[in-house]
Amino acid sequence: MRFEELGFSVFKAEKNYSLKLIIIMLNPRKIDLSEIKLSFFIERDSLINQEAKRSRLEKLRKATILCNREHQTIGIITTLFSGEVVTVHSDFIECTDDFVQLKEGVIIPMRAIVDVDY
């Protein structure tokens, strides 16, 4: 199955890029809130499939409920402008149609979010 069919957008068409993308998605670099504040995000949506976009929004809404009710820490997997996939953890999430706000006023555009881990 191609990554595009799963809803992922491939940014660099290098030789063996499929294997590189799998490795990045399985082990994204963890960064803290202070580092994500200084980051730039991709300009186009990291997901190209409409079903994947709906799933992302549902996961974010569920994560918001988990944070508010159970104070659970949630991982947001996002794509930076460089194409690097990173994860940031927060125990506060607010979600709109276009942005996600984390603790300390960190705002991540919805288009940059690849997945949610709770």
- Could you report the per-residue pLDDT of 5-24, keeping only the tens digit for each? 555 554 444 444 444 444 44
What does pTM read for this prediction? 0.77
In a domain, 110, yes or no: yes
Number of domains in the chain: 1
In a domain, 9, yes or no: no
- Whether 87 and 75 have beta carbons less than 8 Å apart is answered as yes
In a domain, 7, yes or no: no
* Domain limits for position 77: 17-117
- Could you report the per-residue pLDDT of 53-102, keeping only the tens digit for each? 999 999 999 999 999 999 999 999 999 999 899 999 999 999 998 999 99
d(CA 116, CA 57): 9
In a domain, 5, yes or no: no
d(CA 105, CA 12): 31
In a domain, 2, yes or no: no
In a domain, 11, yes or no: no
